[in-house]
Structure 1
Amino acid sequence: MQSGKPLVAKDTRPEIGSPYPDPFASLATSTAFLRLGDQFGLTQLGVNLITLDPGVQSGLRHWHSLEEEFLYILEGEPTLVLNDGECKLSAGMCIGFKAQDRNAHLMINRSDAVVHYLVIGSRVPGDVCYYPDDDLSWFPTESGDIAVHKDGSPYS
């Protein structure tokens, strides 16, 4: 707060597209990420509003070494894909993933309506994000996270 008044985010613009390197970049091109936590300078907690258009998935199935994630469905009926299967979610439902929980996850919008959900996650230095179905991991470096193959070699 400044001068006793709360800071309020207005006129925010979502990021559209995918952070993944080729050949994975095309998998989340209609996903919109609105990084709400960044607007307030949050450094220990990420808060993102995700919009999935019909027929779109959130990204690749993944899990984190150090980060914890919490997902809360605001609108729509996404399908949550886990190691042992899938389940349909709806508004008001939520799920959490503890650090080092190898139950990799992603959301797919198989409905005809837009899906909106919140992702809240801890921001822990040194976190590695693993993608068990794909030749990809996000690995921390001093200059930022980089995409690497499973053998550790970086994507160009």
Structure 2
Amino acid sequence: MTSKKPPLPVRPAPSARTTHARFPWHQFSMRFSSTPRGARLARRLAGERLDAWGIPYGSDPHDALTLAVAELSSNAVRHGHVSGRDFRLRLTAEGTAIRIEVTDTRGEHLPSPAAETAPPDRDGGHGLLLVAALTDRWGWYPSPDGPGKTVWAVLEISP
């Protein structure tokens, strides 16, 4: 008895007019301890994930995004820390945008650009100004999972 193999599917020829999104949809989410070590680990893992998604180490978008992750994670540790509770980092890539979300469990300390107008000669207090300068937009919303808030930032990456 002879077995017949099914015919191979025919792929349509690519069109010259077809435009592709820079990134397919990707997501990374992880909880980290609300400590300086947890914030450093969040930055390092975000850097690795971005490189795996096609935003190479040393590129301007990679540097901007990892610095924004570092600032938001540091803020979650410094201003959103509740003993025994972690913060969550979520990265999402879709189309040409990378979205960073950092969720902590302290809802009474809300981010505000007005609070970020520290004197230039003061150490610290410039994190959200830096995030605003590095990304296209940022904001926050109350955590839907309980007490706390999520601070987010989006960077559009040109193809």
> Normalised by the size of structure 2, how large is the TM-score?
0.28
Q: Which has the higher strand share?
A: 1
Q: Which has the higher helix share?
A: 2
> Normalised by the size of structure 1, how large is the TM-score?
0.29
